[in-house]
Amino acid sequence: MSIQYDVEQLSDSYGVADSFPKDFGYGEEEADIEDSPAPSDSKPRILLMGLRRSGKSSIQKVVFHKMSPNETLFLESTNKIYKDDISSSSFVNFQIWDFPGQVDFFDPTFDYEMIFRGTGALIFVIDAQDDYVEALGRLHLTVSRAYRVNPDINFEVFIHKVDGLSDDHKIETQRDIHQRANDDLADASLEKLHLSFYLTSIYDHSIFEAFSKVVQKLIPQLPTLENLLNIFISNSGIEKAFLFDVVSKIYIATDSSPVDMQSYELCCDMIDVVIDVSCIYGLREDGSGSAYDKESMAIIKLNNTTVLYLKEVTKFLALVCILREESFERKGLIDYNFHCFRKAIHEVFEVGVSSQRPVSSQAVGSPCNKAVAMNGTPRNTV
């Protein structure tokens, strides 16, 4: 495949870790489970739970710390809760708590009520390559306890490591897990508790897609973002557009046409290419500058008449579009529409930030805590 590549101006500091090192410099805290909550604990959180070796730490490392999937083979078992605060580099202002599989978190010394009260989403990871009967028991125990403390939590089940399964086996496993988990809930009269299921693997883009959906549910502005994307693409002759959190490659919104995995993968790959090329050629001679900044934009023309178009939207967000070569002839129109789109996004998050400020000072556990606070665009960058 021939790739025509055109990166315009990729320098000047822009905050997102100088040259995108492997670990984006997200603050990582380690805490004993008996720890009393620190002030940062008031941030909305996403919990990663599941049996030992189900793949929780691998998911966190691959999605948020750019670890390559093969390296996860050498991850040691987690024996404390890892609190990963990704808000300094990511659009999404939340903490991810990775729980050690073997710890009994219903231990009386362990304040699970405090934990569940400030939780936006609970991701339960099930190893699909293993016998999952025990995992289903633990899933039921976990979600039923959490639901009683905080019924607003989104319960997400990752049927994980599906790379080892055939397509038929994947569908059958998902059907079986879905059926059994919901039967257990019905037996406990918890029909209102809704579980969402995803087939995931760190060896392809499915884990990023699943995480995208988990995060999207926590974004209060999602309908507005989708609307803006719909208006933008329909007026610009664009086929598909994603609004990406650049560091994690989670898409926080897309237009309302269906997402096909290939388009998503193509756009993820484009972000990787842009950042890698920028790291090599976009930094100043002394190594200063940033791989992603206000001027970041790239156009990749594929030899099948498809054009990929990336542009910076905010400090953390990029718009990545897929369009036909014919439509790209009206680049001026696209650029103008993009300018209006970018302005609208900034306005949405300025409103979001100012209206969220008082909320963040509320007690942990208020219903408003379910929504993830956004790292919106600070006024002075507009």
Ligand X SMILES: Nc1nc2c(ncn2[C@@H]2O[C@H](COP(=O)(O)OP(=O)(O)OP(=O)(O)O)[C@@H](O)[C@H]2O)c(=O)[nH]1
Are 92 and 250 in contact by the 8 Å Cβ rule? The answer is yes
Output 79 or 256, the one with its CB closest to ligand X: 79
Mark the segment that binds ligand X (CB under 6 A) among 49-57, 143-151, 253-261, 273-281. 49-57
Are 63 and 248 in contact by the 8 Å Cβ rule? The answer is yes
Output 123 or 238, the one with its CB closest to ligand X: 123
CB of 33 to ligand X, least distance (A): 13
With binding defined as CB under 6 A, does residue 55 bind ligand X?
A: yes
DSSP single-letter state for residue 27 = E
Q: Rule CB under 6 A: choose which of 43, 45, 56, 140 binds ligand X.
A: 56
With binding defined as CB under 6 A, does residue 100 bind ligand X?
A: yes
Output 75 or 299, the one with its CB closest to ligand X: 75
Site for ligand X in 59-98 (CB under 6 A): 72-73, 75, 77-78
Output 162 or 373, the one with its CB closest to ligand X: 162
Output 136 or 308, the one with its CB closest to ligand X: 136
Phi, psi values for residue 356, rounded to 5°: -90, -20
With binding defined as CB under 6 A, does residue 101 bind ligand X?
A: yes
With binding defined as CB under 6 A, does residue 31 bind ligand X?
A: no
Site for ligand X in 149-168 (CB under 6 A): 160-161, 163-164
CB of 1 to ligand X, least distance (A): 27
- E strand intervals along the chain: 4-8, 27-31, 45-50, 81-85, 92-93, 95-98, 119-127, 154-160, 195-199, 238-245, 250-254, 297-301, 306-312, 317-324, 373-374
Are 31 and 83 in contact by the 8 Å Cβ rule? The answer is yes
CB of 100 to ligand X, least distance (A): 5
Enumerate residues 6+ apart whose C-beta is below 8 A from 217.
Answer: 121, 154
Mark the segment that binds ligand X (CB under 6 A) among 8-16, 82-90, 198-206, 290-298. 198-206
The Cα 370–Cα 345 span in angstroms is: 22
Count other Cβ atoms within 10 Å, centred on residue 294. Answer: 14
With binding defined as CB under 6 A, does residue 57 bind ligand X?
A: yes
56-65 and 206-216 helices, crossing angle to 10° = 80
- Computed on alpha carbons and rounded to an integer, the radius of gyration of the chain in Å comes to 21
Site for ligand X in 297-356 (CB under 6 A): none
The Cα 215–Cα 346 span in angstroms is: 19
Cβ-proximal residue to ligand X, closest one: 101
CB of 44 to ligand X, least distance (A): 22
Output 17 or 59, the one with its CB closest to ligand X: 59
Output 12 or 163, the one with its CB closest to ligand X: 163
CB of 259 to ligand X, least distance (A): 20
With binding defined as CB under 6 A, does residue 203 bind ligand X?
A: yes
Output 211 or 338, the one with its CB closest to ligand X: 211
Q: Compute the residue count for the chain.
A: 382
With binding defined as CB under 6 A, does residue 52 bind ligand X?
A: yes
CB of 290 to ligand X, least distance (A): 30
Enumerate residues 6+ apart whose C-beta is below 8 A from 163.
Answer: 201, 203, 204
Judging by beta carbons within 10 Å of its beta carbon (0-12, 13-18, 19+), is residue 168 exposed, middle or buried?
A: exposed
Residues of the shown chain interacting with ligand X in the complex, contacts defined by CB under 6 A: 50, 52-58, 72-73, 75, 77-78, 100-101, 160-161, 163-164, 201-203
